[in-house]
Amino acid sequence: MLFRRLRGDAVLTRDPILRAHRFTNAYRAADRVTQFLISEVVGKTEREDDLVFRVLLFKTFNRIETWRALERAIGTVTWREFNSHAYVSALTSVRDGGEPIYSNAYMMPNPPLGQAMKHENHLALLERIMRDGTCLRILAAKNLEGLYRILLDVPSFGRFLAFQYAIDLNYSDYFSFPESQFVVAGPGALSGIRKCFSDADDLEPTDVIRVMSELAEREFQRLGLRFPSLWGRPLQLIDCQNLFCEVDKYARVAHPELDGGAGRTRIKQRYAISKGPLPEFVFPRRWELSPTLSFGNVSRITI
């Protein structure tokens, strides 16, 4: 669907569920919000401490509009010039104007730090991370799992958020850890795996994700599926983790009789194509991708 849109096709898909509801891109890094993070949040960061501050701040709210509102009110977002009162005021103004400041992509727990408003608590938590040595521990991480474990120690993050934040920080040149090293199955992926497999042969969910990643190319060939990769980049563990989440969502409508254990029965977000052309794609330089409008066999894909 993404490649068809880039090519300017009038019909992206004939699948009524995909047409009506919002799904994450098959590659996490190609998703709209992640593209903004890579190009605008990570890509315009000069200092190491600012990298941690900017990524965790952006991902706390996970909304491009919230980031833009902060930039309009604050100017360049940096840790060196952080003023909690100014940030609280800016976010409160957005909220009081009737605009959401948090994305509804996933639930953000409210850190119990004694502030009156949720966003005050989150800003207080971020300031604590930057001052209590956690930021230095993050910057000293030796691998993706180590980075995750440090983030997992932060109050209110939990397994899912800690892993997502680790992946987001890892888009920078500073870390550059292989995404094939480590994966954590979030709630949506756990539900999707249960819907896909009545018997996973006693494999742990992370093992199921790893096997999927390892066998994907072979299975595409065996089943005659012309899957357009991300300009030659195979599906990574984080992509397969996300894909199980999307299968869980799709099955809520296509196969409502399936129980993934999460108790979710509908897809909350409707899809509406954004106006105007898509922005230029930006990916970590170490991936050595060359986004182009030459899509090979994409025209022969049937969805």
Domain boundaries of the chain, sorted by first residue:
17-30+182-285, 32-169
Token pair for residue 285? 């330089």
Overall average pLDDT of the 95-114 stretch: 92
pLDDT band at 292 (very low <50, low <70, confident <90, very high): low
The terminus-to-terminus CA distance of the chain in angstroms comes to 9
Instruction: Name the amino acid, one letter, at 212.
Output: M
Tens digits of residue pLDDT in 193-235: 999 998 888 899 999 999 999 999 999 999 999 998 999 999 9
Structure confidence at residue 297 (pLDDT): 34
Instruction: Give the list of residues 6+ apart from residue 30 with CB closer than 8 angstroms, or none.
Output: 2, 230, 281
- Contact between residue 235 and residue 26 where contact means Cβ atoms under 8 Å apart: yes
pTM over 0.75: yes
- Contact between residue 17 and residue 126 where contact means Cβ atoms under 8 Å apart: no
pLDDT band at 299 (very low <50, low <70, confident <90, very high): very low
Q: Is the pLDDT at 295 greater than 70, yes or no?
A: no
Overall average pLDDT of the 50-71 stretch: 97
Distance CA 127, CA 131 (A): 6
Instruction: Give the list of residues 6+ apart from residue 161 with CB closer than 8 angstroms, or none.
Output: 106, 108, 151
Closest CA to 33 of 292, 274, 285, 302: 274
- Contact between residue 165 and residue 150 where contact means Cβ atoms under 8 Å apart: no
278 or 166, which is more confident? 166
Instruction: Name the amino acid, one letter, at 87.
Output: Y
Give residue for tokens 């756990």: 190
